[in-house]
Chains A and B, each alone.
Chain A
Amino acid sequence: MKRSLLLTSGFLSGALFLTGCAGESNSGTEGEEDRTKISFIHWRGEDKAVLDDLIAQFEEENPAVSVEMTIYPSEQYQATGQRLLQDGSTGDVFTSFPGAQFEAIASAGLFEDLSGEDFVSNFDEELISVGQKDGAQLALPYQLVFNMPVYNKGMFEELGLEVPKSWSEFQTMADTLLENDITPIAFPGADIGPNQFMNSMMMNNAPDEDVFEKLQNGEESLTNEWWVKTLEDFQLLEQKSYIQKDALGTSQDSAMAMVANEEAAMLATGSYHMSALLDLNPDLELDLMAPITVEESEAMYEGINTATFMLAVNSKSEKKEQAKEFIAFLSQPEIASQYANETGQHLTINDVEYESEVLQNTAYWIDERKTRFQPRFLITNAQIEAAVLSSIENVLGGAEPMEAAKEAQQIVDENRD
């Protein structure tokens, strides 16, 4: 009897204690409720720590506003993220990819027009045009990415190699690497390889920046020389073992491991992998290099850039002013500098000070090199984009370039708007 009484009183005490805790928590929540809570959604899980810190700073500067950040995996965000915006309750501030996703969100009218906002002038004018549509600034790209191979500069110096300026030089360089038992290019064909590497492989084969717009409206064809030549170049990489065996089965992590272990000289992805590679092997000395697939005199571009992680305000939001305050905060040069240095990303913000060695060493690509906007993001129809990428996979799987181009063109024709 005594035991059951003890148990009962213990249970009641516990319940009262928990109720007390809940009360304390509620009083805390009441304080929270006085603040306007805005929702910030994006896909960059690797930036959580620095963004948590920046949000804390923002909340300190703006005591009336709190920010709830939700991060989705990038695949999920790209596929379904925009649906969260529809009722305005989520994503007061959200991010968007350029290309098909930007077009879809813009067509649905979910972007608040940011033209005329003071903070727009904090961004490099030339780098934010990808967030414009019909004369309105709908989104502001925050990150500047170079979607071209990262290469082991130290290894090149050791072997006396220079960055090739033509397709023949590229092949000579690749042969030298092979002679030294080094795979020239680690190609993550099982996931992002084709998406990324197609850009630099085609940039000089099709220097017309409207080529994909023309493909979508029927003026161009994948069976034309610019794309067949690109596929032939991919075939050459595969046949001469310039990319690793079984590249289509290689994941991003495996390809990164090859470069980090110095089994491969280049990683066919982009600048966004540099800090991760350095985490795997801090002794690496890295830089960027795109294959030039034409003769030196014909080369118009040296690399690829993408302004992405486009910050935007949900037009359905009831907290647009607070959302804009948050973007204004992120676009301050000193805040952006912290973000850039802690994430290893170049940014589109003016006057950012890059402190990390790898960012400083590659910052010359922003102003001094002739780069073009990532062609893949200029394909606004996702089915056509998939057809283009599939033709690369088809060739790497053994198909003849023209056959692969024809097969892909048929899908393009079926999906043309």
Chain B
Amino acid sequence: MKTSKSIYLFFLPGLFLYAIFFVYPTISALFYSFTDWDGLSSSFQFVGVENYERAFTGDTVFRKTIGNNLKFMLVVVVFQTLVALAFALIVLKNTKTTIFLRALYFFPTILSSVSVAFIWSFIYDPSLGILNQLLELIGLEFLAQNWLGNANIAIYSLAVTQIWFHAGQMLIIFVAGLQAIPEELYEVAKIEGASKWQTFRNVTWPLLAPSATIVVAYTTIQSFKAFDLVFAMTGGGPNNSTEIVATYIFDIAFRSYQFGYASAISVIFMVIIAIITYLQFKVLRSNRISY
């Protein structure tokens, strides 16, 4: 009994850190969301639900950021998952080539986001950038674009960068998931004469569901919370076309000095992420199969 009680002591450092870095800021944000605090002054007024009303009914840019976030999230979640899965299937075996490819695919993950933003801003530069020059070189100059300056495509250009940056992390999760699938199932499938696609459809994919759940949920949260790449590459422009909720919160809090309103948006944002994550887990868990 004494021993089991002392076990709880081991939780204390973690609980302490969790309280400081998550619980306290969350409660603070909730508290300030009902105020007009400017983030600098020592005084503020309580304004009730005014900030929430403004977010839902009187802020065109906020609504636009939600739309941008959803576009960004959908593209990143779908393609990052597919790319990571494809890479994982390629590098599954432990040969020298696949180990090299695994390192190559994982490489972008170790870079800092600012470096990635710098590299891709250069790649996308409409006149000096490698991408347009490459397209011209291979005779596809009609595809050359103003990748970050065109309000219709800038958000997707950012999504590509995000996928390049983070697909390597997801690759590791998929590789671990693939390695956990018993080899016997593949042997049985082979004996039964299943094609590669049938094997993937009926053996690999269902048993990969736990990994896929983690990848999709993590990618959703990661893409919803994306900030650094967007901030460094476009700053939300042109004409708010790449402004996402996180960069907008930053603008409202640190450029417009409306911490109360920024807190309200943060709370709304947190609730949206929580709902999406819950729904994803629910849907993906219900699709799990075990043999």
Contact = CB atoms under 8 A, between A and B. Distances in A.
Contacts of A383: 61, 251-252, 256
A251 interface: yes
Contacts of A394: 151, 238-239
A248 B150 contact: yes
Contacts of A386: 61, 240, 251, 255
Contacts, number: 106
Given A386-B251, A390-B239, A393-B238, A250 B256 contact: no
Interface in B12-65: 38-42, 54, 58-61
Interface in B59-81: 59-61
Interface stretch (B100-108, B123-131, B197-205, B273-281): B123-131
Interface in A368-392: 381-383, 386, 390-391
- In the A-B complex, list the 9 residue pairs whose CB atoms are closest, starting with the nearest: A249-B149, A248-B149, A108-B40, A246-B126, A393-B238, A246-B146, A79-B254, A382-B256, A249-B146
Interface stretch (A61-69, A99-107, A332-340): A99-107
B150 A249 contact: yes
Interface of B: 38-42, 54, 58-61, 121, 124-128, 146-151, 234-235, 237-240, 250-252, 254-257
A307 B215 CA distance: 52
B40 to A, nearest CB: 3
Interface stretch (A80-88, A155-163, A317-325, A357-365): A80-88
Nearest to A108: B40
Given A78-B255, A190-B234, A83 B148 contact: no
B238 A250 contact: no
Given A107-B41, A249-B150, A414-B58, A397 B239 contact: yes
A397 B238 contact: yes
A293 to B, nearest CB: 22
A190 B233 CA distance: 9
Contact of A108 (B41, B61, B128): B41
A173 interface: no
A108 B38 CA distance: 8
Given A248-B146, A249-B150, A254-B128, 17 more contacts: A80-B254, A86-B40, A100-B256, A104-B257, A189-B238, A190-B148, A190-B149, A191-B235, A248-B149, A248-B150, A248-B237, A249-B146, A250-B149, A251-B121, A254-B127, A411-B60, A414-B54
A214 interface: no
8 contacts: A79-B250, A83-B40, A104-B38, A107-B38, A397-B149, A397-B151, A410-B60, A411-B61
A109 interface: yes
B40 A249 contact: no
Nearest to A383: B256
A244 interface: yes
Q: Is the interface of B mostly helix, strand, loop or mixed?
A: loop
B127 A246 contact: yes
Interface in A260-283: none
A198 B235 CA distance: 18
Contacts of B235: 191
Interface string A92-124: 000000001000110111100000000000000
A190 B120 CA distance: 14
A251 B40 contact: no
Contacts of B240: 386, 390
B115 to A, nearest CB: 15
Contact of A393 (B40, B54, B239, B256): B239
B125 A393 contact: no
Q: Is the interface of A mostly helix, strand, loop or mixed?
A: helix
Interface of A: 78-80, 82-83, 86, 100, 104-105, 107-110, 189-191, 244-251, 254, 257, 381-383, 386, 390-391, 393-394, 396-397, 399, 410-411, 414
A382 B251 contact: yes
A249 B256 contact: no
Contacts of A410: 60
B118 to A, nearest CB: 10
A386 B59 CA distance: 13
A250 B126 contact: yes
A154 B84 CA distance: 55
Contacts of B149: 189-190, 246-250, 397
Nearest to A390: B239
Most buried by B among A189, A382, A386: A386
A250 B127 contact: yes
B13 to A, nearest CB: 27
Contact of B148 (A78, A82, A249, A390): A249
A72 B193 CA distance: 65
A248 B239 CA distance: 10
A388 to B, nearest CB: 12
B39 A83 contact: yes
A346 to B, nearest CB: 27
Contacts of A382: 251, 255-257
Nearest to A387: B61
Contacts of B59: 414
Nearest to B126: A246
B40 A82 contact: yes
